[in-house]
Amino acid sequence: MKIIIESSICSPQDNRRKFSILPDFCKKWLKKFWNRPVSHSEPEFSPSRRLLIVSTALFLGWGIVALRLVGIYFGEAQMMKDHLARQQTAVEIIRPRPGDILDRNGHLLATSVDMQSLYVVPRRIKDYKKFARRLAPVLSLDPQNLQLKIEQHRTKGFLWIARRLEPSVVRAIHELQLNKETYGFRGEYKRSYPNGALAVHLLGLRDIDGNGHGGIEQAYQKIISGKAGRRRIVRDSRNRIIHLYEDPQQPVEQGRTIQLTIDLRMQKVLEKELDRLMEKWQPRGCCAILCDPRSDEILALSSRPNFNPEDADTFRDDAWMNRAIAWSYEPGSTVKPLIVASALQQKVITTESSFHAHWGKYRMGKRVLHDSHPYGQLSLAEILIKSSNIGMAQIGERMTNAGLYESLQRFGFGMSTGSGLPGELAGTVRPLSKWNAYSTGSIPMGQEFSVTALQMIVAHSVLANGGIYQQPRFVLKIGRKDSRSLFPGLQMRLMDSDISRWIVRNPMRRVMTEGTGRKVNREELDLFGKTGTSQLYEPEAGRYSPTKTVCSFVCGLPADDPKLLVLVAVDQPTSGHKHYGGTVAGPTAVEILAKTAPLQDLWLARKRNHTAYQ
User: Is 280 found in the same domain as 153?
Assistant: no
Distances (CA, A) of 337 to 369, 473, 554, 613: 19, 23, 11, 41
| Range 34-45 average pLDDT | 50
User: Is 285 found in the same domain as 187?
Assistant: no
Instruction: Measure the CA–CA gap between 608 and 614, rounded to whole angstroms.
Output: 10
pLDDT for residue 378? 97
Q: Is 90 strand, coil or helix? A: strand
User: Is 235 found in the same domain as 288?
Assistant: no
Per-residue pLDDT tens over the stretch 278-305: 999 999 999 999 999 999 999 999 999 9
User: Is 135 found in the same domain as 30?
Assistant: no
Residue 59, domain extent: 12-79
- pLDDT above 60 for 376: yes
User: Is 313 found in the same domain as 242?
Assistant: no
User: Is 599 found in the same domain as 544?
Assistant: yes
Per-residue pLDDT tens over the stretch 192-233: 999 999 999 999 999 888 899 999 999 999 999 999 888 777
User: Is 137 found in the same domain as 23?
Assistant: no
User: Is 441 found in the same domain as 306?
Assistant: yes
Around 494, how many Cα atoms within 13 Å sit in the side-chain half-sphere? 30
What angle, 0 to 180 degrees and rounded to 10, lies between the N-to-C axes of helices 389-410 and 336-345? 70
User: Is 600 found in the same domain as 551?
Assistant: yes
In a domain, 4, yes or no: no
User: Is 404 found in the same domain as 358?
Assistant: yes
Boundary (domain end) residue, out of 34, 55, 79: 79
46, burial (CB in 10 Å: exposed 0-12, middle 13-18, buried 19+): exposed
In a domain, 418, yes or no: yes
Per-residue pLDDT tens over the stretch 453-499: 999 999 999 999 999 999 999 999 998 777 666 677 789 999 999 99
In a domain, 90, yes or no: no
Number of domains in the chain: 3
Q: What is the mean pLDDT of the chain?
A: 87
- pLDDT above 60 for 614: no
